[in-house]
Amino acid sequence: MIDSILAALPGDFPWQNQIHWFDTIDSTNTRAKAMARQGAPHGTILIADRQTGGRGRLGRSFHSPAGMGIYMSVLLRPQCPPEALMHLTCAAAVAMCDAVEEVTGIRPGIKWINDLVIGHRKLAGILTELTLGSHSEHVDAAVVGIGINCCQAVSDFPPEIRDMACSLEMALGSPIDRAALAGAMIRHLYRMGNALPQRDQILTRYRRDCVTLGQEISIAQPGLVRHGTALDVDGNGALLVRLPDGQEEAVNSGEVSIRGMYGYL
Ligand code: BTN
């Protein structure tokens, strides 16, 4: 697999000697953070065929069976404070839409903040984790992990997510070349890493793909579930919501559900 992925990259690709393939791993994000502590460079990529402890946002697990998906993390070493990376998950989401579209012709939507969707079903998730330097206000490592469902049929998903998940093969109705997609993901992550300072352009593209905007939503935060209308994504990637009393609030944590999607009625 690693040879096919490398074949999908230009011969002079700057990160080509930093791509690590694992048949099985606990979590590519967990391992990337460990490698960061040991000094792994900017642009280190980890890809696994299977994860035994794939993690998602809000402490959830990410189902990562062998031969079915792409489970990838990139380690970035941006020399900046964490505030300058508020849009990193948004940037990764747009980059992954670009990669999927390039390889399949299908452009997924983005469900704020970190899910790629096709129709009303989840195709992929993104988990961004920042580590601060011990003696500085700067980010020591930013790990962006992406899991994309590629080859599953409906029956391959566990019953609890069967009605809300989809794969590229389900959407396309034909086989998907995982190595070609992994190569495209790596190339688009490289471009994303260089383009991060262009925050406004990235967020303009994010808003275009974001299927949450204009929708009736619920916002679940610890001890509190509220309803509202999703209006916009602000300059930090937060979701601007109008609440029933007319107040507007920038939401940047918790679970946002869209009516009619993932079984939310
Ligand atoms: C989510 O759905 O909330 C995010 C899922 C992120 C899954 C990816 S798979 C590769 C990387 N390693 C992990 O443990 N998680 C991310």
Closest-lying ligand 1 atom to the alpha carbon of residue 57 = 3
Q: For 105-142, how does the pLDDT look when each residue is reduced to its tens digit (9 = 90+)?
A: 999 999 999 999 999 999 999 999 999 998 778 999 99
Beta bridge partners of 144: 74, 128
Protein residue closest via CA to atom 1 of ligand 1: 56
Query: In the chain, pLDDT over 90 holds for what percent of residues?
Result: 95
- Specify the pLDDT at position 265: 64
Least confident of 45-59, 134-148, 178-192: 134-148
Residues near ligand 1 (Cβ within 6 A): 27-29, 51, 54-57, 60, 62, 71-73, 114, 125-127, 145-147
Instruction: Indicate the pairing of strand 19-22 with strand 44-48.
Output: parallel
Residue with tokens 């009619």: 260
Q: DSSP labels for 88-149? A: HHHHHHHHHHHHHHHHHS---EEETTTEEEETTEEEEEEEEEEEE-TTSSSEEEEEEEEEEE
Nearest CA among 31, 72, 21, 24 for reference residue 51:
24
CA of 36 to the centre of ligand 1 (A): 17
Q: DSSP labels for 204-238? A: HHHHHHBTTTT-EEEEEETTEEEEEEEEEE-TTSP
